[in-house]
Amino acid sequence: MLQRRRFHFGLILIVIVAISGGCRPRAPRVPLADSDPIFVIPAITHVAEQWPRMKDRQGVARLVELLESDDSAVRMAAATSLREMSGTTYGYRSWELPANQPMAIERWRRWSLGQPVEWPPSSQPSSQPSSQPTR
């Protein structure tokens, strides 16, 4: 009889926890505006993980802003997440200083706004012969 009561108590407890939402994962707060990389980098990852379901354009715009961060780890995390989301780099290199790659950052801005981006750049055939000998 005692075992049966324990079983029912346990079953009732499981039902209560399940109904109250105790079994559902809660969405973490995403501190993309934080300046501390220890908080920003997990938030960057969160935006990329949620991209297939949510298509969060505001989060993506913030990732593009983070491509200009002073912190190379933040730039790398943002670039990696954007590449995973889009399938391309648009020529951005996280190890280079942002000031050296304004065109790549502008391509990311256009992509984040849903505008067309020409990438890779179309290469026009040269009208002048190559100075390299052919073999």
| Neighbour-count burial of 78, counting CB atoms closer than 10 A to its CB (0-12 exposed, 13-18 middle, 19+ buried) | buried
pLDDT, greater one: 6 or 128? 6
What 8-state DSSP symbol labels residue 98?
G
Longest dimension (CA), the chain: 96
Say what the pLDDT of residue 1 is.
57
Instruction: Give the tens place of pLDDT for each residue, 10-60.
Output: 556 565 655 555 544 444 455 777 778 888 889 898 888 888 888 878 888
Say what the pLDDT of residue 18 is.
57
Say what the pLDDT of residue 96 is.
94
Q: pTM of the predicted model, to two decimals?
A: 0.66
